[in-house]
C-alpha cells in the first residue's frame, strides 16, 4: 500500500538588519559612551546571515537546521525582552503562504519578536512536511519522524500564538495543519504494518490503527464543514483539492479498519459479526471511490474493493452452509478501540540541542538585554553563593588557625629539630630545651612588647587625664546661662554614667599595676624569669638513656616529622581548594538558567538555586576532607610527642627536679591576667577620652551663651574610683537638684556608647595588634596539649562601659541649644 502526502507552502518575508536594530537599542539604553561594550558586530552580522539562510533556497535538510538555529536565537531574545520587543523598533514583514493568488500577495508587518517567531515556526513545520514527502518512498520511518516534529510545531503555534494578523498563523488554521500532520504520521505508521510480513496475524492491530487514522481525517473534515458555514466558502484554507483527498482517506481507512476487524472476528470464530464489518468495509470503500480523482495514481482503491468483495462473498457462503450464524444489523465502528501510534516530543525537547548551540553566542550578543527581574533573582542567588562561600571560608580559616596555634604553641619545628640533632649526631652534652618554657617566654616577651608600645601603659597618668577632663567639664557647667539648665542636667547625667563605667574600667587594671609595671620593664622581667627557670639539677642528657630505646625514639621522631610535613601539605591543599572555590563562585553565572525558567514560582526557583549550588559541593567536600585529616594528624602528633617525652624521661625528670615549677606557673598566670585586663583597658580608654572631650566641647558651647553662674548648679560628689584614686574623684560633684542617676543615663540625656569589653582583638589606635592570649595555665608535658585548644578562658566582666560604642552621644543635635 502507498499513500499521498499533502504539500504545504512556505511563507515569504522581507529582509531586515539585526545589527542596526541592536545597536540603536543599546545606544538608547546605555548611552553613546558605553553601548559598544555590549555590542558584537560580528555576531549581529552572523544573525542576519542566518536569517537569510533560514528563508533561502537551501535543500530541505539544511533549511531545517538553519530554521531551528534561528528560532533558538529568537527564543533567547524573547526570554530577555518578553513583551517589550517593540523597543527594538524593528519591522518584521511576512507574506501569507501562496495557496491562492490573493493569499500569496497579502503581507503583514509587526514589531514584535513573537510575530517573527511564529512565522519561522510555521516555515519550520512546513519544511518538515516537505522532507517527509521526499522520504516517504525511501525511508518511511524518517518520514514519520519529520511529520511528528511538524505536528509539534503547528500544535505549539495553535496553542501559543492566538492573535496573529496573518491568516496562516490563526489558531484554527494552525490547528488544522497540526491535525493533518498527525493524521499523515499515523497513516504512515499503519502502512509500515500493512506492508510488513504476516499481515493476517496483525489484523486486530491494523484495525485499531486504521480506525484512529480515519477518526483524525474525520476531525480534519469537520474543520472544513465548520469553516464553510462561517465563511461561506468551499475551502477556508489550503488548496482546494485537499478536501477531496481528506474525504477519500477518511472512507479508505475506515474500510481498512472494518475489513481487518472482520478478519480478526473470523479468527475468533465470530462469523456473523465478521460479515457485518465486511459489509461496513464495502460501503466505506465505495464511498472512497467517489473521491479518488487526486489519489488514484497512488492509492490502489480498486484492489482493496476487490479483496473486500471476495472475502465477503466467501464468508457469507461458509456461513450459509456451515456456521449458520445470524448477521447483526446494528454493529458500529465504535466497537473498535482506536490506537494512536504518534507520541510527539514537545517543542522544548526539539529545541534543546539547538538552544545549547546558540546559548554562548546569544549570551554575548544579547548581554546588554537583561530584564530587571533577572537581576533581582540573580541577586538572591548571589547572596546564597556569598553565604556558602562565607561559611566555607570561616571553616577554612578556623582550620588554619587550629594548625597555626598547634604549631606555635608546641614549637613543633624546633622540637623536631632539637630531637633530630640530639639523636642523629654524635654523643654530646647539649640538653633538650623544655618546649613549655620556650613557649611561655615567647608569650611573655610578646606581652611586654605590646605594653611598651602602647601609649596608655602609664595607668596612673591616664587616670589623672580623666580626672582633669571631668573637672573642666564641671567648671564649664557651673557657669552656664539659666536658659540652658535643662541641657546642663543632661550633660551631668551622661558624665555621672561615664564615671560609674570608668570605675569598673580602672578597677580591672588597679589590681594588676605591679604586673603591668613589670611588663614595662623588660630587663627586670627577664631577671625574674631567669630566677624562676633556674633548676637545682641539670636536666639529664638524653643520650645517657639505654641504647635499646634510642632506635624506638628515632622511629617515632621520623614518624612525627612525616606527619608534620603532611600537615603542611594539607594546609597548602586547603588553600588551593579555597582559591578554586572563590574562582568558581565569582565566575558562576546563571543568567541563562533564570531566563529559561522565567516563569518559575518562588518554590521552583528555590529548587533551581539549590541545584545550582550543588556544583560547589565537590570543592566543599575537599575542604572538609582536609580538615578531618588535619585534626586526625594533630591528635596523632600529640600522642606521638607524649610518647617520645615519656621514653626520654624529660617530663618526669623535669617535674621531679624543678622546685620553681609552681612559682613559675603562678607568675605566668598573673602576667596573663594582667595583660588580658590591660588589653581591655587600652581598647576602651580612647572611647572614654573621646566621650569626655565631646562633653567638654558641648559644655563650652553652652557656656558661650553667658558667663553668669547658674544657681543651684554647684558640684555634687561624683562617683569615686576605689582604692588610691577615690580621693581625686571625690572632689568632683554635681548639683543635688540633678535627677536620680541610678540608671546609666537620665531620661532625655545623651546615651553613652558601649565599649567592646572582653573582645580579644587587635588594638590599632594606640599600638600593635594584641598577641594571641594562650591558655590560662600552661599544660605540663605534651599530655597537656591534648586539651589546651579547648580551654575556656576567664575574661573580665562583659561590657561594663558598653555605652561608649553608641555614636549618637557625639551628635550635638540631640541637645536643645538651638531650640531657643
Cell of 123: 516555515
Burial of residue 246 (CB within 10 Å: 0-12, 13-18, 19+) is: buried
Decide if 619 contacts 577 (C-beta within 8 A): yes
The pLDDT value recorded for residue 478 is: 79
How far apart, in whole angstroms, are the C-alpha atoms of residue 225 and residue 69? Answer: 38
pLDDT of residue 16 exceeding 90, the answer is yes
In which element (H, E) is residue 95 found? Answer: strand 92-95
Lowest-confidence range among 21-30, 356-365, 430-439?
430-439
pLDDT of residue 282 exceeding 90, the answer is yes
Q: How far is CA 738 from CA 369, 812, 820, in A?
A: 67, 21, 22
The pLDDT value recorded for residue 765 is: 38
Over residues 304-328, the mean pLDDT reads: 91
The pLDDT value recorded for residue 650 is: 54
Over residues 31-42, the mean pLDDT reads: 90
Report the CATH fold assignment for 449-512+664-706+714-820. Butyryl-CoA Dehydrogenase, subunit A; domain 3 (1.20.140)
Over residues 468-473, the mean pLDDT reads: 85
Cell of 317: 457462503
Over residues 707-735, the mean pLDDT reads: 38
Query: Could you tell me which of 135, 91, 136 has the C-alpha nearest to residue 113?
Result: 91
Query: Could you tell me which of 261, 254, 248 has the C-alpha nearest to residue 282?
Result: 254
pLDDT of residue 424 exceeding 70, the answer is no
Cell of 74: 529568537
pLDDT: which is higher, 667 or 4? 4
How far apart, in whole angstroms, are the C-alpha atoms of residue 636 and residue 633? Answer: 5
For the chain, the domains span 12-196+346-369, 201-338, 449-512+664-706+714-820
The pLDDT value recorded for residue 655 is: 52
How far apart, in whole angstroms, are the C-alpha atoms of residue 497 and residue 718? Answer: 10
425: confidence class by pLDDT, cuts 50, 70, 90? low
Decide if 99 contacts 149 (C-beta within 8 A): no
3-state secondary structure at position 69: helix
The values of phi and psi at residue 107, to 5°, are: -120, 160
- Do the domains at 12-196+346-369 and 201-338 have one common CATH topology? yes
The pLDDT value recorded for residue 802 is: 53
Residue 751 φ/ψ region, left for φ over 0, alpha for ψ in the -120 to 50 degree band, beta for the rest: beta
528: confidence class by pLDDT, cuts 50, 70, 90? confident
> First and final CA of the chain: distance in angstroms?
108
pLDDT: which is higher, 547 or 264? 264
How far apart, in whole angstroms, are the C-alpha atoms of residue 759 and residue 308? Answer: 100
pLDDT of residue 770 exceeding 50, the answer is no
pLDDT: which is higher, 642 or 116? 116
Query: Could you tell me which of 189, 335, 342, 183 has the C-alpha nearest to residue 264?
Result: 335
Lowest-confidence range among 18-27, 169-178, 335-344, 494-503?
494-503
How far apart, in whole angstroms, are the C-alpha atoms of residue 719 and residue 230? Answer: 101
Cell of 556: 617515632
User: What are the DSSP E strand ranges found in 526-661?
Assistant: none
**DSSP class of residue 109?**
E
Over residues 64-73, the mean pLDDT reads: 96
Decide if 456 contacts 516 (C-beta within 8 A): no
The top-level CATH class assigned to 201-338 is mainly alpha
Burial of residue 140 (CB within 10 Å: 0-12, 13-18, 19+) is: middle
Q: How far is CA 233 from CA 225, 227, 228, 515, 723, in A?
A: 10, 8, 5, 111, 114
Which of 620-629, 668-677, 711-720, 801-810 has the highest mean predicted lDDT (pLDDT)? 620-629
436: confidence class by pLDDT, cuts 50, 70, 90? low
The top-level CATH class assigned to 12-196+346-369 is mainly alpha
Decide if 54 contacts 63 (C-beta within 8 A): yes
Cell of 247: 474525504
The pLDDT value recorded for residue 517 is: 84
Cell of 353: 540541542
Burial of residue 605 (CB within 10 Å: 0-12, 13-18, 19+) is: middle
Q: How far is CA 121 from CA 49, 57, 605, in A?
A: 18, 17, 29
Residue 320 half-sphere exposure toward CB, CA atoms < 13 A: 6
How far apart, in whole angstroms, are the C-alpha atoms of residue 700 and residue 681? Answer: 28
pLDDT: which is higher, 211 or 523? 211
pLDDT: which is higher, 104 or 768? 104
Over residues 347-371, the mean pLDDT reads: 91
Strand partners, 110: 92
514: confidence class by pLDDT, cuts 50, 70, 90? confident
The pLDDT value recorded for residue 43 is: 94
Place of cell 587625664: 465
Which of 65-69, 484-488, 681-685, 734-738 has the highest mean predicted lDDT (pLDDT)? 65-69
Place of cell 588580658: 676
The pLDDT value recorded for residue 501 is: 80
Each residue's pLDDT tens digit, 233-262: 457 888 989 999 999 999 999 999 999 999
Torsion on CA atoms 380, 384, 387, 389, rounded to nearest 10 = -120
724: confidence class by pLDDT, cuts 50, 70, 90? very low
3-state secondary structure at position 247: helix
The pLDDT value recorded for residue 434 is: 63
- Based on its alpha-carbon atoms, the radius of gyration of the chain, rounded to whole angstroms, reads 47
The pLDDT value recorded for residue 415 is: 79
Decide if 749 contacts 493 (C-beta within 8 A): yes
Which residues, at least 6 apart from 639, have a Cβ–Cβ distance to it below 8 Å?
A: none
How far apart, in whole angstroms, are the C-alpha atoms of residue 309 and residue 303? Answer: 10
Q: Is the pTM of this model over 0.75?
A: no
The pLDDT value recorded for residue 692 is: 84
Strand partners, 95: 107
For the chain, what percent of residues have pLDDT higher than 70? 80
In which element (H, E) is residue 94 found? Answer: strand 92-95
352: confidence class by pLDDT, cuts 50, 70, 90? very high
Place of cell 557651673: 478
Each residue's pLDDT tens digit, 144-203: 999 999 999 999 999 998 888 899 999 999 999 999 999 999 999 999 999 988 888 899
Each residue's pLDDT tens digit, 200-235: 889 999 999 999 999 999 999 998 877 545 544 457
Each residue's pLDDT tens digit, 99-124: 887 777 899 999 999 999 999 999 99
For the chain, what percent of residues have pLDDT higher than 90? 41
Each residue's pLDDT tens digit, 545-571: 555 677 778 888 888 888 889 999 999
Q: How many CB atoms lie within 10 A of CB 776?
A: 14
**What's the chain's average pLDDT?**
80
Strand partners, 93: 109
Amino acid at each position: 500500500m502507498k499513500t499521498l502526502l499533502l504539500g504545504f507552502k512556505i511563507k515569504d518575508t522581507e529582509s531586515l538588519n539585526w545589527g542596526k536594530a541592536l545597536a540603536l537599542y543599546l545606544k538608547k539604553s546605555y548611552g553613546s559612551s558605553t553601548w559598544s561594550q555590549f555590542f558584537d558586530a560580528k555576531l549581529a552580522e552572523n544573525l542576519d546571515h542566518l536569517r537569510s539562510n533560514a528563508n533561502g533556497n537551501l535543500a530541505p535538510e539544511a533549511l531545517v537546521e538553519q530554521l531551528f538555529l534561528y528560532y533558538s536565537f529568537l527564543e533567547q531574545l524573547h526570554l530577555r525582552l518578553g513583551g517589550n520587543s517593540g523597543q527594538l523598533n524593528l519591522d518584521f514583514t511576512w507574506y501569507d503562504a501562496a495557496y491562492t493568488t490573493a493569499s500569496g500577495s497579502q503581507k503583514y508587518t509587526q514589531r514584535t519578536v513573537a510575530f517573527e517567531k511564529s512565522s519561522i515556526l510555521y516555515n519550520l513545520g512546513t519544511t518538515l512536511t516537505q522532507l517527509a514527502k521526499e522520504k516517504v518512498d525511501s525511508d518511511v520511518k524518517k518520514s514519520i519522524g519529520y511529520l511528528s516534529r511538524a505536528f509539534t510545531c503547528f500544535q505549539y503555534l495553535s496553542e501559543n500564538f492566538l492573535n496573529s494578523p496573518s491568516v496562516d498563523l490563526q489558531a484554527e488554521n494552525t490547528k488544522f495543519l497540526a491535525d493533518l500532520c498527525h493524521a499523515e504520521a499515523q497513516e504512515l505508521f499503519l502502512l509500515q504494518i500493512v506492508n510488513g510480513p504476516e499481515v493476517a496475524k496483525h489484523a486486530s492491530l491494523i484495525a485499531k490503527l486504521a480506525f484512529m487514522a480515519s477518526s483524525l481525517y474525520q476531525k480534519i473534515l469537520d474543520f472544513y464543514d465548520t469553516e464553510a458555514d462561517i465563511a461561506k466558502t468551499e475551502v477556508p484554507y489550503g488548496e482546494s483539492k485537499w478536501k477531496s483527498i481528506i474525504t477519500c482517506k477518511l472512507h479508505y481507512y475506515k474500510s481498512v479498519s472494518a475489513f481487518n476487524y472482520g478478519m480478526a472476528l473470523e479468527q475468533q470464530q465470530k462469523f456473523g459479526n465478521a460479515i457485518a464489518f465486511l459489509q461496513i468495509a464495502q460501503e466505506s470503500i465505495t464511498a472512497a471511490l467517489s473521491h479518488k480523482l487526486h489519489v488514484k495514481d497512488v492509492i490502489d482503491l480498486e484492489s482493496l474493493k476487490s479483496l473486500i468483495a471476495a472475502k465477503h462473498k466467501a464468508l457469507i457462503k461458509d456461513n450459509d452452509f456451515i456456521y449458520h450464524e445470524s448477521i447483526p444489523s446494528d454493529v458500529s465502528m465504535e466497537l473498535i478501540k482506536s490506537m494512536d501510534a504518534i507520541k510527539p516530543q514537545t517543542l522544548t525537547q526539539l529545541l534543546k540541542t539547538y538552544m545549547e548551540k546558540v546559548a554562548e553566542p546569544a549570551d554575548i550578543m544579547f548581554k546588554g538585554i537583561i530584564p530587571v527581574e533577572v537581576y533581582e533573582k540573580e541577586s538572591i542567588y548571589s547572596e546564597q553563593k556569598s553565604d556558602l562561600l562565607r561559611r566555607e571560608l570561616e571553616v577554612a580559616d578556623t582550620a588554619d588557625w587550629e594548625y597555626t596555634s598547634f604549631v606555635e604553641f608546641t614549637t613543633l619545628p624546633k622540637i623536631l629539630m632539637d630531637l633530630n640533632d640530639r639523636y642523629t649526631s654524635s654523643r654530646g652534652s647539649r640538653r633538650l630545651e623544655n618546649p613549655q618554657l620556650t613557649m611561655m617566654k615567647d608569650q611573655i616577651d610578646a606581652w611586654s612588647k605590646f605594653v611598651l608600645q602602647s601609649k596608655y601603659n602609664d595607668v596612673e597618668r591616664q587616670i589623672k587625664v580623666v580626672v582633669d577632663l571631668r573637672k573642666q567639664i564641671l567648671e564649664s557647667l557651673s557657669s552656664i546661662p539659666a536658659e540652658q539648665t535643662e541641657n546642663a542636667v543632661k550633660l551631668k547625667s551622661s558624665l555621672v554614667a561615664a564615671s560609674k563605667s570608668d570605675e569598673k574600667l580602672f578597677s580591672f587594671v588597679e589590681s594588676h599595676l605591679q604586673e603591668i609595671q613589670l611588663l614595662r620593664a623588660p630587663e627586670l622581667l627577664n631577671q625574674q624569669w631567669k630566677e624562676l627557670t633556674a633548676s637545682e639539677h641539670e636536666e639529664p642528657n638524653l643520650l645517657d638513656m639505654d641504647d635499646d630505646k634510642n632506635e624506638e625514639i628515632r622511629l617515632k621522631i621520623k614518624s612525627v616529622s612525616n606527619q608534620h610535613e603532611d600537615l603542611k601539605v594539607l594546609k597548602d591543599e586547603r588553600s588551593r581548594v579555597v582559591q578554586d572555590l572563590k574562582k568558581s563562585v565569582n565566575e558562576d553565572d546563571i543568567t541563562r538558567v533564570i531566563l529559561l525558567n522565567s516563569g518559575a514560582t518562588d518554590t521552583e526557583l528555590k529548587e533551581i538555586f539549590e541545584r545550582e549550588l550543588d556544583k560547589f559541593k565537590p570543592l566543599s567536600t575537599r575542604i572538609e576532607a582536609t580538615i578531618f585529616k588535619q585534626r586526625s594528624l594533630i591528635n596523632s602528633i600529640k600522642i606521638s610527642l607524649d610518647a617520645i617525652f615519656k621514653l626520654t624521661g624529660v617530663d618526669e625528670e623535669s617535674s621531679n627536679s624543678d622546685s620553681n615549677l609552681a612559682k613559675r606557673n603562678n607568675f605566668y598566670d598573673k602576667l596573663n591576667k594582667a595583660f588580658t585586663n590591660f588589653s581591655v583597658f587600652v581598647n576602651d580608654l580612647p572611647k572614654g577620652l573621646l566621650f569626655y572631650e565631646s562633653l567638654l566641647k558641648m559644655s563650652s558651647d553652652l557656656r558661650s551663651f553667658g558667663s553668669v553662674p547658674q544657681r543651684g548648679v554647684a558640684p555634687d560628689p561624683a562617683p569615686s574610683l576605689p582604692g588610691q584614686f577615690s580621693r581625686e574623684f571625690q572632689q568632683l560633684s554635681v548639683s543635688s537638684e540633678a535627677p536620680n542617676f541610678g540608671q546609666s543615663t537620665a531620661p532625655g540625656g545623651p546615651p553613652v556608647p558601649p565599649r567592646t569589653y572582653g573582645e580579644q582583638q587587635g588594638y590599632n589606635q594606640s599600638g600593635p595588634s594584641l598577641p594571641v592570649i594562650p591558655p590560662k595555665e600552661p599544660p605540663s608535658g605534651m599530655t597537656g596539649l591534648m586539651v589546651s585548644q579547648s580551654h575556656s578562658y576567664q575574661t573580665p566582666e562583659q561590657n561594663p562601659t558598653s555605652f561608649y560604642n553608641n555614636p549618637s552621644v557625639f551628635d550635638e543635635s540631640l541637645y536643645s541649644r538651638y531650640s531657643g
